[in-house]
Structure 1
């Protein structure tokens, strides 16, 4: 299923930039730029970044400015999606119209004309602010030609419909993975189909559960943010690894990695949902990038097997710390 976002044709698998701006990993600009270049050369030209990825002094916006300063010829080849309007430090949404405008102005100032923000979205809606206010403020900048399109993320089906009544929604960034299938059952996927909104599926590898890099709780560094997420708590970890083991069995027979099976399963949802679904795995090394971007096709039998596993699987623990849970499905 071909995919166009904000007027740009994009490849079947996008690139999530959060890992390139993770202070715990300490990846420098000089190390990150070749990874982005490799992603583009491999056909992954939807780049998902954010003001909230990194620090105020160095986040996705600064990295993108550096990249496009070096490769200005790539500007039209890449579709850039940016999230802002949220403080991860205080777990507060900045969804009032004046806050949205401040965030967009800040992002445009950092971009400094070196690249275009093709999709802008509030990283979280505020339960106390009408979605029409938040979306309407973003739409002002689309109408003024300052950004390309309006995105939405982590919302309810009702809010998505309200947003679509305000303006055209270029994309809905929603969590979808073998560990997180909520949008298939809560009306969101159906609403995206109804309004022909492509789904940008973030965390398709379940924040690393399906990468093979962590087998035990102790495999995560002391400063790894996943230690704050209930699904990775010691009392939940071993139970959740049982699903990983089931996926690894499928991958072993198929001759690929569990991560590739996981990404393929997410992409396969395009057919059943009826609207394009683009997984956006991240990577902090070119070898991992190449693994994630290799197209693996699941047969109908393999898909049925995985779906049977999912029906029986019990995923334990919330996907975010308690302070962030109130912003989900707003």
Structure 2
């Protein structure tokens, strides 16, 4: 597994990390033992970055990751997130909370659930417009000084917010959705800004939440509480139109002897050595298929063809329902 460094001051990680959210949250029930086998297999195959958040569950995903890293913490870069408000009894309030006192309390729960004395990377999960970013990053910087956190990051932040945050304490990473179906960071200044400032970029949902694999043809078969049942781009009218793009991806992938998912992942990895992808899966065969995308070499002709097939704006439907879209910064 090739390594990439998160920015000029961050840790070295595998070019593909493992997004752990779906193993306990958002995409319906999982086979706990198969999910655990998948995560352990990822580490065996050279994945060194595991991504979680207190929001996923809430809390259960961090507890799952604790089981994954038990006895093998050294050499694993663990990232988690804070900022979606969760009460002491584990209730998601639906509000953002980036207040310093909340951050100081939340880290203690995260470390306890993960069974570790430090986090390698701690992100603001969403930017709270009610709290100046300087105050939030200042609180996170205190955690670095205390040795509880090694590196800082922000998720779904605008270019302007990234600059303000980085001025308070150097950021190792910015995490935002990035795939052939979500290319916003190429045009809103985020990708250019992180490169200018020497910050690493972590792209989540590089398979478009499964859309780009071609395996999802309708909402039929998705679990009752699967997030994609309410995601606008998976609603039937939008999905039908989006699948026309996916079919063209499948044709190009077939001509190269790979899957559409591998083609989509290879494209993300080809966007620069400063880009790390964190696809999520809870099954060993899909994990191994994803990791094999690292061996795919895309020519200049391939990249031009993909730009023509899936340019920015080609996906129909927002990434999130209205309420969740309102939490994205900028």
Structure 2 residue ranges without an equivalent (≥5):
87-91
CA distance in 2, matches of 1:86, 1:218: 30
Distance 1:139 1:278 in 2: 23
**Match of residue 45, structure 2, among 32, 42, 46:** 42
Quote how far apart the aligned CAs of 1:127 are: 1.7
Q: Is the 8 A contact 1:135 1:163 kept in 2?
A: yes
Task: State the 1:292 CA deviation.
Answer: 0.5
Pick from 105, 109, 127: which aligns with 2:108? 105
Structure 1 consecutive aligned stretches of length 4 or more whose deviation exceeds 3 Å: 5-8, 87-90
- Residue 157 (structure 1) aligned to one of 124, 145, 159: 159
Aligned residues between the structures? 319
| Equivalent residue number for residue 300 of structure 1 | 300
Determine the structure 2 residue equivalent to 1:282.
Answer: 280
Q: 1-side partners of 2:85 and 2:227: how far apart?
A: 15
Aligned twin of 1:75: 73
Structure 1 residue 313: deviation in Å?
6.4
How far does residue 36 in structure 1 lie from its aligned partner after superposition? 1.4
Helix, strand or coil: the match of 1:118?
strand
Residue equivalent to 1:4: 5
Deviations 1:28-85 (A, max 9, x none): 2x433321121012111111111111234xx22211222233xx2x212111110122
Q: Which one scores higher on RCO, CA 8 angstroms, separation ≥ 6?
A: 2
Alpha-carbon separation, structure 2, partners of 1:248 and 1:2:
28
Structure 1 length as normaliser, TM-score? 0.91
Unaligned runs of 5+ in 1: none
Displacement after TM superposition at 1:314 (Å): 2.9
Q: Equivalent residue for 1:60?
A: 61
**Structure 1 position 314 matched with structure 2 position 314:** yes
- Give me the whole-angstrom Cα distance separating, in 2, the residues matched to 1:111 and 1:311: 39
Mapped contact 1:243–1:313 kept (Cα < 8 A) = no
SS of equivalent to 1:311: coil
Q: Counterparts of 1:1-330 in structure 2 under 5 Å?
A: 2-5=3-6, 8-22=11-25, 24-28=28-32, 30-56=33-59, 59-69=60-70, 72=71, 74-87=72-85, 89-113=92-116, 116-270=118-272, 276-294=274-292, 295=294, 296-311=296-311, 314-330=314-330
Do the aligned partners of 2:214 and 2:243 also contact (CA within 8 Å) in 1?
no
CA gap of 1:93–1:235, structure 2 versus 1, over 3 A, is same
Q: Alpha-carbon deviations, 1:229-250, whole Å to 9, x = none? A: 1111122110111111111111
RMSD, aligned CA: 1.9
Indicate conservation of the 8 Å contact 1:91/1:323, yes or no.
no
Deviations 1:166-219 (A, max 9, x none): 011011111110110000001000100011111100000001101232112324
Q: For residues 124 and 260 of structure 1, do their structure 2 counterparts lie closer, same or farther at Cα, with a shift above 3 Å needed?
A: same
Q: What TM-score comes out, normalization by structure 2 length? A: 0.91
Distance 1:286-1:227 versus aligned 2 partners, 3 A rule = same
Q: CA deviation at 1:3?
A: 1.8
Higher alpha-carbon deviation: 31-40 or 132-141 = 31-40
1:303 Cα deviation (Å)?
Answer: 0.6
Change (3 A) 1:61 1:223: closer
